[in-house]
């Protein structure tokens, strides 16, 4: 894959990572998949996307979470 499918440009969607050539953010793709939409439904809603672009968004998110940051996910149990 010569050119990255995920890009970030301060002039596009306030610099959020997007699918190259679109204004579709990685965040939007994750939200749709996380709310139960299938890859096929996301593709139907956004015809400029490809299956490979959606998979690239998932890989990007996984890589972003590999960092050393701690992500609070809820209140600790008492």
Banded pLDDT at 1 (limits 50, 70, 90): very low
- Render pLDDT for 6-52 as a digit per residue (tens, 0 to 9): 999 999 999 999 999 999 999 999 999 999 999 999 999 999 999 99
Partner residues linked to 7 by β-bridges: 18
> Which residue ranges make up each domain of the chain?
6-64
pTM of the complete model beyond 0.85: no
CATH architecture of the region 6-64: Orthogonal Bundle (1.10)
Whether 2 shows a pLDDT value over 50: the answer reads no
Sequence-separated contacts (24+) of 10-17 with Cβ below 8 Å:
17/57, 17/60
């Amino acid at each position: 894959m010569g050119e990255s499918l995920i890009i970030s440009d301060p002039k596009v969607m306030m610099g959020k990572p997007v699918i190259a050539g679109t204004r579709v953010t990685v965040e939007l793709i994750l939200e749709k998949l996380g709310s139960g939409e299938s890859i096929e439904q996301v593709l139907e809603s956004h015809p400029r996307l490809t299956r490979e672009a959606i998979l690239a968004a998932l890989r990007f998110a996984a890589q972003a979470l590999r960092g050393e940051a701690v992500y609070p996910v809820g209140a600790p149990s008492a």
